[in-house]
Amino acid sequence: MSNIAVPTSIKSVLLRHTRGRSNPIEFAEGVTDSSESRSMMKGNEFSHMKVGTSPKYGSVSTASVPFNFIGRVQTVLFISWGFICCKVAKDSVLRMDAKLRDNFFYEAFLYYNPLFMVAMMVWLWGVNVWVFLQSRVNFAKVFDLDQNHLTPREIWKIASWMTILVLTSMTAYLYLYSHGEVSLAASQPVLLYCTLPLLLVFPFDVLYASSRFFFIRTLIRLTIPLQPITFADFFVADVLTSMAKVISDIERSTCRMYNRQVATIAWFEADDICGSHSIWIPCFLAFPYFCRFLQCLRQYYDTREMTSLSNALKYATSFPVIFLSALKYHVLPEMWHGVYRPLWLLCSVINSCFSFYWDVSRDWDLGFFSGSFKSRNPLLRTNLLYNNKWVYYWAISSNLLLRCAWTYKLSAHLRHNYLTVFTFSGLEMLRRFQWIFFRVENEYNKMLTRTSLQVPMKEMTIEAERLLSPSHHVV
């Protein structure tokens, strides 16, 4: 049976090459599957969807491709520079006065931690893509990517440069301040916060221009959902909900830079315009959830499915948690402990349970809540694309625990220890990293099911035409 060419789409999700690349050679890769899956996979189109890698990569595993010499040298240089920056930063912090050391280290954390979290998410997305390429999950088909989407190595290269830029800027900030160059130290985070957005919107066809432009368009679409919602749109919006704390910290950092409070202690006053009592903090924390809420309403408008309204309700339950937490700084202590704190705890429990249920039963389509033990995959589903069943049970249990950290991440009155904030923010990144594997797998499973239902109908139509044709009847 001849392969049917799949049209190249102009769509992509964060991952596309510049136009200057040569056309890749297409390969077809066989995938070992269960007997049930093999019986479903009929027809040329379905066979193409079954391929677990995109044509760009072919049947060659990305793990088997050796690093070239230049790549090895770059890796060594990156690691060496990272160690040098860490050593200089540590010495600079120890050089500061003990009374100011904690304050200014906390300030450096607030400027650079959100950017480190962004780089961490890019690193993890590269791992997601690498695992998809090694497994039977055709993520390129799910996201409707063209053949020139970025490889995991290229994603990690972007993450490496982001990490090095942020680490270098933080080291320069600490070093200059510890040596008395306060004005130069204050300019370091400002330069970094100006450079990264400029690189993102750089208009020339370099630095993965099509990927950058598509990402910008996606951000605009998810902010103003005036068009039908695609899988890519709500996928990026879901990832941004896990980065709500990052978005809030970027707002606080930008506020201090705009008000010229960098490398000062003016902003340590809680009631300051950029202090911890600012009303903009809960607003920016809620912004990703509000975007996702609007997407669900738009999806209901297009499909009239009640599931979209239920999903919108799930995101709406995050708003009371965020704004009730912020009320602690604007009400009397007696009112907080007697009224608002118990109400905040109740809303937190409702949202965490609702979100956990939706992750497992809807986003992952696992049968954990149905209590089915009769299938060959108890509490899961019939068709599993990942070989080891234990990863599904691990994902369910760990997702429940990490969902509890969600309350800490979004609650303004719990965020005083920056090391604890860093830990919980990192845990949320890992939870989302884990969520991506099973969400994309479930979407690909649905595509396989839809195609398996279409193939028999196509065969029946061909057979019917053959039987009804005049040449078939011999008189």
pLDDT tens for each residue of 376-398: 778 888 888 888 889 999 999 99
Q: Say if CB 444 and CB 137 are below 8 A apart.
A: yes
The mean pLDDT of 440-445, rounded to a whole number, is 93
- The larger pLDDT score, comparing residue 1 to residue 402, is at 402
User: Which residues, including other chains, have CB under 8 Å from residue 161's CB and lie 6 or more apart?
Assistant: none
The mean pLDDT of 7-34, rounded to a whole number, is 39
Q: Confidence class of residue 288 from pLDDT cuts 50, 70 and 90?
A: very high
Per the prediction, the chain carries an average pLDDT of 79
Ramachandran angles phi, psi of 366, nearest 5°? -95, 150
- Sign of torsion over alpha carbons 86, 89, 94, 99: negative
The mean pLDDT of 38-62, rounded to a whole number, is 44
Task: Please name the residue that has the structure tokens 């020139």.
Answer: 148
Task: Please name the residue that has the structure tokens 């209901």.
Answer: 300
The mean pLDDT of 138-148, rounded to a whole number, is 82
The mean pLDDT of 201-208, rounded to a whole number, is 88
Name all contacts of 2-7 with Cβ < 8 Å and 24+ positions apart.
2/44, 3/28, 3/44, 3/47, 3/48, 4/44, 4/45, 4/48, 6/48
pTM metric for this prediction = 0.80
Measured at the alpha carbon of residue 76, what is the angle toward residues 73 and 79, in degrees to the nearest 5? 150
Identify the pLDDT of residue 448: 86
Ramachandran angles phi, psi of 124, nearest 5°? -65, -35
Q: Confidence class of residue 328 from pLDDT cuts 50, 70 and 90?
A: confident
Query: What CA–CA distance (Å, rounded) separates 113 from 169?
Result: 12
Q: Say if CB 298 and CB 229 are below 8 A apart.
A: yes
User: Which residues, including other chains, have CB under 8 Å from residue 315's CB and lie 6 or more apart?
Assistant: 241, 289, 290, 292, 293, 296
Identify the pLDDT of residue 20: 38
Q: Say if CB 3 and CB 44 are below 8 A apart.
A: yes
User: Which helix (H) or strand (E) element contains residue 460?
Assistant: helix 418-468
The mean pLDDT of 284-308, rounded to a whole number, is 95
> What is the tens place of the pLDDT at every residue in 308-325?
999 999 999 999 999 998
Q: Say if CB 414 and CB 281 are below 8 A apart.
A: no
Residue 301, helix vs strand vs coil: helix
Query: What CA–CA distance (Å, rounded) separates 168 from 190?
Result: 13
